[in-house]
Amino acid sequence: MTVRAKVAKVMQFYEPTPTLVRDIYQKYGEAIGVSKEKHTKWAKDKIVNNKRYCILMFLTNPRKVRPFDINKTSFCNVAAWLCTQNIKDVTRISQLH
């Protein structure tokens, strides 16, 4: 773990239509790292490959933190993020001392 932030807003889309996929890229594409020139290509790729779910998370107050290991015992190993009220709940015990 090297960064922390607060989640300001979450948008979820289940089985988005081709029109919705294009709209998402037009509205949020640049903010999620897809240049305008690539919006059509990326949207077509998601539609052709039958992507069925989309989550957009808007973060605020990002801050670097001193790196530490996470105890993922109760979490999926492939998770790119996790939510917790208390960071001590997921910090490896050896890192707390």
pLDDT band at 12 (very low <50, low <70, confident <90, very high): very high
Question: How much is the average pLDDT of 17-46?
Answer: 80
Instruction: Look up the pTM and report it.
Output: 0.61
Spatial CA neighbour of 7 closest among 51, 69, 62: 62
Token duo for residue 12: 């979820």
Task: Give me the pLDDT at residue 95, please.
Answer: 44
Question: Per-residue pLDDT averaged across 9-38, rounded?
Answer: 84
Predicted confidence at residue 61, as pLDDT, reads 92
pLDDT single digits (tens) 73-96 = 666 666 666 677 777 777 765 544
Q: Which DSSP letter does residue 39 get? A: H
| Higher pLDDT among residues 7 and 48, named by residue | 7
Tell me the per-residue pLDDT of 32-78, one tens digit each, with 9 for 90 and over: 887 777 777 777 777 777 778 888 888 899 998 887 777 766 666 66
Has residue 97 got a pLDDT over 60? no
Domain boundaries, the chain: 1-63, 66-97
Write the single-letter amino acid at 38.
K
